Structure formats: structure tokens, C-alpha cells
Amino acid sequence: MSHAHPSTSESPVLIVGAGPTGLTLACELARRGVAFRLVEASPGPRPGSRGKGLQPRSLEVFDDLGVIDRILANGRSAMPIRLIDPDGRTSGGPTYEERPDVPYPATVITPQWRVEETLGLRLAELGGAVEFGTALESFTQSSDAVTALLRTGDQTETVRAQWLVGCDGGRGVVRKQAGIAFEGETDERIRMIVADLAVDGLDRDAWHMWRCAEGFVSLCPLPSTELFQYQAPIGGEPDLDLSTLQTIFARRSGRTDLRLHTPKWTSVWRSNTRLADRYREGRVFLAGDAAHVHSPAGGQGMNTGIQDAHNLGWKLAAGSPALLDTYESERRPIAAGVLQLSTARLAEAAKQKSIPIRSDRATTQLSVNYRGSVLARDDRGESAQLRAGDRAPDAPGLTTTTGTCRLFDLTRGGQFTLLNFGPRVEAPVRTFHVVARPAADDEIADSAGHLARAYSPTGRSLILLRPDGYVGLISDAGDFPAVQEYLL
């Protein structure tokens, strides 16, 4: 085989891996006009339903990125759960509370490949692209650059980048080559077959879970396809052929009338719970499964990666070293919490012999917050309902000069937004003055009082929302210099 002469190029940011994490980060950078390259080892888009549950907080991220309509069109919100016992008794899943400050209260079920497709389309609209079939082989770094060796077929290329972001999954090379430990454990006794397949004779209006003494088997309809996701925990090394899947299914469900078809995609999940001991080594960052892996029970993994990318994107674009340090200090504790939550759910799954589905604020990730971060400043007391670092709540029923809207319609697009409840100020960021009746483009009226209920302002409050939808600063005293200093 002949090897072409290696070429050399430059790119400010090199993103390795185009799963949900790498694609979200690429969209974040593309919409801010930051040049990057996104390389993906696989030759084309990956099939497979994998992480099929999008949590409410990720849906807000996708609203901000401008892809929520496509996500909802290919998904199903609040999919009913049908848990079936050996005696034929059935019970249902969680209910979701409608709240004015939460635009998407329920988990959306959609195959992971649809999420990746949607983000890929958005990336193309923003002028970016995935370089499929190109793998990172190795890299070195100095104080001012990362030098990475990429391979596409028999061609190699050297890229000099300011920053390298490893979004290359749990087995990725970036973490290993950066010398970052991945502490945790692997439990070889716990495995689960996952397959995408068609089923004759089963209704598609609920996620069916049959449980028996041996374990459970579940079939979840995959919206926007003809397929179901099959899941069955098993003991030893599994066979993935159709007859094995059908036998396990019939034994655990007691249903011999349902015919499974040859799977379109199969995978075996193995229990692996690990957290990177650092998210950054010099000019190299880790995000998504490259930084944290855990059980799929609880439906957190992909969601946590998407939110890692949403946290890192605006900070990378700003490029300030102090700001970049807050990526690890804000996101690593969140992942540590996710590991605990998904481990607890896995234990529950083993005990109950079914997949525990919840709608609490930890599972929906609406309680994720960065209180105590150096980026969280306020003059409120401990007991205040909303503090700096919290997720910025939404509010419907706002009136502007162009009609009625929600707060998230005004904050969409990944910029800082200042909500000013006091006298007019001239801030260097997008500002909305909350007034009794809007007369100007930068004024909003909180006609139904939802904004006041969510933000509890005084008549002077200045509330600064970060580009990733968290409250950065609250000054109930109306201290405008504090806002200016924060933005600097």
C-alpha cells in the first residue's frame, strides 16, 4: 500500500468524535463563528437506538440550538409505560407535572441516531460538517498548541490546534493519551442485550416491560421508525441471533403470539461505572462518555454529554483561561451525581426486575445547577427559591411589541441576556427591560406575572442569564457595576 505524504494544517479547535456530544459542541462553535474540525472514525452516520430518552433539560438545550421542532417531530413525549407482571396485572409509568417555568416537562423517546441526524443537519445549516472516516491516532501538546495526527484511509495529516476536545466515547484515545485516569469499576456479571427490531402483533402506543423471576424483557417503540428497542439483561456471554432473542422474549413475557424479526442493529451493554479524574489536561478537554460512563438505567448518559458540550461551547468561544477552568469545576460534580443516580437506578432495576422510569427533577436534569461556582454571584439569602447558578426558569405570557411569547423565545441563541426590573441601563449585552406595557423593542411586559413568580425580583433587580441558560448574576439591589464587572 502506498502512503501519501503527510500534510499539515491548522484549526483553532479539533473535536474528536461525532456522537451527540461532539455534534452539540460543533453546533455551539459553528453558531458563534468559531472555526473547528469535527472528525469521526466511523465511515458514516452510526445506526442504533442506544440512548433513546431525551430529558427535559436537554430539550431546552435543543430549543436554544434551534432543533427542537425536528426532535419533537421524530420523537414521542411522555410515552406511556406498561409494566406487565407474570399474572397479567399491568401498571403504568410516571406522570409529568405541567409548570409554567418548564416548557418540556416530559422525557422524549427517540432513537439516538435521529438525535445525531438532527444535530448533523443543524450543523450543515450553520456551515459545518462531520469528517467521516477520519480518526485521531495520536497527539502531543505544548503550552501553545496541540499537534494531532489524523488518519483517513491510508492518508495521514498533522493538525495544529489551539484546543482538542475528546468527545470520543468511553473507549476513546484522547483521555488515555492525555494520561487522565478513569477511576471506577466494571462488573462483568451485569450485561444487557440491546437490539432494534420489528415485532409483528404488538401495539406501538406504549413501552412494554414484562417482568418475571428470571428478569425482564422490554420492547419500546422507536418513534419515526417501524422498529422497537429490545432490552434484556442476561448473565453470561450472549448470543445475538434472532432465535436467542425470541426464546428469551417468550420465556420472560409468556407471549408466544408475538413474532420478532431479524434485528437491524444489536449491541451488548456491560456494566462500567467510571469518572475521569480531570476534565482538562493543558489544551485538551474531555466531554460526554469520554469523561463519564455508567449504567443506562435512569437515562442520563447522552443527556449529560449534550449538556457538557453546551457548557463548554461558549467558554471555548470566549477563550479566556479562567472561564475555561470553570468547565471542569461545574461539570465534573454533575457527572459524579449522575453516576450515583444511575447506580441507584441499576440496583432498583435488579430488585424490581424492570427499568425504573422517573420524572423527578434529578432524572429530568432540571435541578442541575452551578450554585457555588465562581460564575454564580448574587445578593440573595440562602433560603431564596432562585439563586445564581440555578437553571434559568422559563416564563410564558410575556408581551412584547410583536406579540405574546415565552422567555425562552427571547433568550434563544446562546448569548448573555440581562433582565432588568429596575431603571433603564445601557448594558453591553442583550437586555430586556421589564415594564408595565412595552413601547420599545427591548421592553417586555410580564402580563400574567409568570416572570415575577419565577425570578422573585425587587423593583431594582438585575438578573443576568448565561449563554447556556443558567442564572449568572442576581443583583436585587440593582448594582449595575456588578453586572459590568461580571461581564468583563
Taking CA atoms, 218 is separated from 66, 83, 235, 432, in Å, by 33, 9, 16, 48
CA–CA separation, 464 and 487 (whole Å): 9
Task: Based on the shown chain and the rule CB under 6 A, indicate whether residue 269 belongs to the binding site for ligand FAD.
Answer: yes
- Written as one string, the DSSP assignment of 226-262 is S-EEEEEEESSSPP-SHHHHHHHHHHHH---S-EEPP
Shortest Cβ distance from residue 161 to ligand FAD (Å)? 14
Does 41 bind ligand FAD (CB under 6 A)? Our answer is yes
- Using CB under 6 A, which of 38, 194, 222, 451 touches ligand FAD? 194
Secondary structure letter of residue 388 according to DSSP: T
> What sign does the dihedral 232-236-240-243 (CA atoms) show?
negative
Contact string 216-255 vs ligand FAD (x = CB under 6 A): ----------------------------------------
How many chain residues touch ligand FAD (CB under 6 A)? Answer: 36
Minimal distance in Å, beta carbon 369 to ligand FAD?
19
Q: Applying CB under 6 A, does 19 fall inside the site for ligand FAD?
A: yes
Write out the three cell numbers for 329.
469545576
**Chosen residue from 53, 128, 313, 422 binding ligand FAD by CB under 6 A:** 53
| Cβ contact 318:415 at 8 Å | no
* Residue closer to ligand FAD, measured from CB, 162 or 300: 300
Q: CB-based burial of residue 442 (10 Å sphere; 0-12 exposed, 13-18 middle, 19+ buried)?
A: middle
CA–CA dist 168, 267 (Å, integer): 18
Query: Rounded to the nearest whole angstrom, what is the least distance from the CB of residue 138 to ligand FAD in the complex?
Result: 9
In this structure, are residues 35 and 180 in contact, taking their beta carbons and an 8 Å threshold? Answer: no
Stretch that binds ligand FAD, among 36-44, 80-88, 92-100, 211-219 (CB under 6 A): 36-44
Nearer to ligand FAD, 232 or 463 (CB): 232
Check residue 461 for interaction with ligand FAD (CB under 6 A): no
Task: Specify whether the backbone of 403 is left (phi greater than 0), alpha (psi in -120 to 50) or beta.
Answer: left
29 contact partners, CB below 8 Å, separation of at least 6: 13, 15, 35, 36, 128, 313, 316, 317
Q: Please, are residues 470 and 430 in contact by the beta-carbon 8 Å criterion?
A: no
Contacts of 378 (CB under 8 A, 6+ apart): 384, 387, 388, 471, 473, 474, 475, 476
Question: 235: closest CA among 281, 268, 263, 212?
Answer: 268
Contact map string, positions 152 to 191, toward ligand FAD, x by CB under 6 A? ---------------xxx--xx------------------
Tell me which long-range contacts 88-97 makes (C-beta under 8 A, separation of at least 24). 93/207, 93/357, 94/357, 94/358, 94/359, 95/359, 96/359, 97/359
Query: Is 123 near ligand FAD (CB under 6 A)?
Result: no
The answer to whether residue 197 forms part of the interface with ligand FAD (CB under 6 A) is no
19-27, 138-146, 246-254, 346-354 -> range binding ligand FAD (CB under 6 A): 19-27
CB of 297 to ligand FAD, least distance (A): 9
* Residue 46 interacting with ligand FAD (CB under 6 A): yes
CA distance 279 to 221: 36
- Binding part of the chain for ligand FAD, among 34-42, 74-82, 403-411, 447-455 by CB under 6 A, reads 34-42
Q: Contacting ligand FAD (CB under 6 A), which of 50, 310, 332, 406?
A: 50
Give the one residue of 110, 112, 253, 273 binding ligand FAD; rule: CB under 6 A. Answer: 112
**Site for ligand FAD, residues 69 to 98, rule: CB under 6 A:** none
Q: Which three cell numbers stand for residue 212?
A: 418475571
Q: Rg of the chain over CA atoms, in angstroms?
A: 24
List 103, 221, 301, 467, residue binding ligand FAD (CB under 6 A): 301
Given 56, 296, 422, 457, the residue binding ligand FAD (CB under 6 A): 296
Is the CB of 301 or the CB of 457 nearer to ligand FAD?
Answer: 301
Q: Which stretch binds ligand FAD (CB under 6 A): 10-18, 71-79, 118-126, 246-254?
A: 10-18
Nearest CA among 255, 18, 248 for reference residue 130? 18
* Contact footprint for ligand FAD (CB under 6 A): 16-22, 39-42, 46, 50-53, 112, 135-136, 167-169, 172-173, 194, 267, 269, 288-289, 296, 299-303, 305
